[in-house]
Amino acid sequence: MSSIPTNKDAVPARVIVITSGKGGVGKTTTTANLGMSIARLGYKVTLIDADIGLRNLDLLLGLENRVLYTAMDVLQGECRLDQALIKDKRQKNLSLFSISKNQQKYNVTRKNMENFIQSISLLGYHFILIDCPAGIDVGFINAISPAEESLIITTPEVTAIRDADRVAGLLEANGIYNVKLLVNRVRPDMIQNNDMMSVRDVQEIVGIPLLGAIPEDNNVIISTNRGEPLVLKKKLTLSGIAFENAARRLIGKQDYFVDLDTPYTDKKGILKKVQNFFLGS
Ligand code: ADP
Ligand code: MG
């Protein structure tokens, strides 16, 4: 792929923090699947697990046994940065960087985070995705401080939408203006029965541009349990396609949305019916 930048030192990585406000809406799932998709498109990606108390990005990626060193160990001089960057064996463009182990004491500062990001960028990474902790306290502020872009995840539920809206305000107050929305766990059947807000309604309430929408899909849970991101499946499910689609939009390679009303058929069948589904709903 000739359009992929190769200049290691001069091209700074795009640093994108994945936030939500409310916990459990799909930040970690999104970080893993978007990261894997972007890496498969040929870019070097580091995923940072900044969710200290509820660290689980390593599990979703199936890398839990390989996290020997974390940012805390780098800071304490126990290892070099590259030793704490765990390379995915299935996709060599993808690395995982954990801030701390669950039982480790956490005292990473904003400055530390910024230095880590700069050093990772200098190693030639094109994208750094930061999986943000839930809530809006010190862990959140540390996670967002090195980012220039953000992706807000919400589900079509009022509690999650309210928190997403709050986080959008906080991001702006912290100088992050490039913000996009991803609506997760969408159920077209419920939308049709007026039991769930449409993606368009959600987007209008939060008032930021839409990156994509991901359907509710049991395969997400299965893939979490297997430590294998959905987008690695040979036969992609609709949620896998929707994540791939969002990844392409994030790198500026695609401009349409997947139709979540399409039955779960093969990828070709779904893509044939691609249209801006939420405009019609
Ligand atoms: P967060 O990082 O925001 O706390 P997670 O990514 O850990 O959220 O997701 C929370 C739970 O929701 C997990 O059990 C995950 O498998 C499930 N989940 C996330 N997205 C979907 C989806 N699109 N369909 C079904 N389950 C999902
Ligand atoms: Mg999480």
For residue 20, how far is its CA from the centre of ligand 2 (angstroms)?
10
pLDDT at 275 over 90: no
Ligand 1 contact via 23 beta carbon (within 6 Å): yes
Q: Where are the domains of the chain?
A: 14-279
DSSP state string for 137-167:
SHHHHHHHTT-SEEEEEE-SSHHHHHHHHHH
Q: Which of 125, 135, 172, 144 is nearest to 18 (CA)?
A: 144
What class is the 14-279 domain?
A: alpha beta
Spell out the residues 6+ positions from residue 201 whose beta carbon is closer than 8 angstroms to its own: 156
For residue 120, how far is its CA from the centre of ligand 2 (angstroms)?
22
Q: Per residue in 148-198, pLDDT tens? A: 999 999 999 999 999 999 999 999 999 999 999 999 999 999 999 999 999
Q: Which of 133, 220, 135, 213 is nearest to 180 (CA)?
A: 213
pLDDT at 265 over 60: no
> Residues 113, 147: contact at Cβ < 8 Å?
no
What percent of the chain has pLDDT above 90? Answer: 75
Q: Which of 57, 45, 55, 56 is nearest to 15 (CA)?
A: 45
- Residue 104 is predicted with a pLDDT of 66
Query: Average per-residue pLDDT in the chain?
Result: 88
Q: Which ligand is nearest to the CA of 53?
A: 2
pLDDT at 273 over 60: no
What percent of the chain has pLDDT above 70? Answer: 84
Ligand 1 contact via 237 beta carbon (within 6 Å): no
Of ligand 1's listed atoms, the one at least distance from the Cα of 29 is 6
Residues at the annotated binding site?
22-29
Ligand 1 contact via 220 beta carbon (within 6 Å): yes
Nearest CA to ligand 1 atom 5: 26
Q: Per residue in 40-91, pLDDT tens? A: 999 999 999 997 767 789 999 999 999 999 999 999 999 999 999 999 999 9
pLDDT at 238 over 80: yes
- Residue 11 is predicted with a pLDDT of 74
Q: Per residue in 112-146, pLDDT tens? A: 999 999 999 999 999 999 999 888 888 899 999 99
Rounded distance, CA 219 to CA 223, Å? 6
Ligand 1 contact via 20 beta carbon (within 6 Å): yes
For residue 26, how far is its CA from the centre of ligand 1 (angstroms)?
4
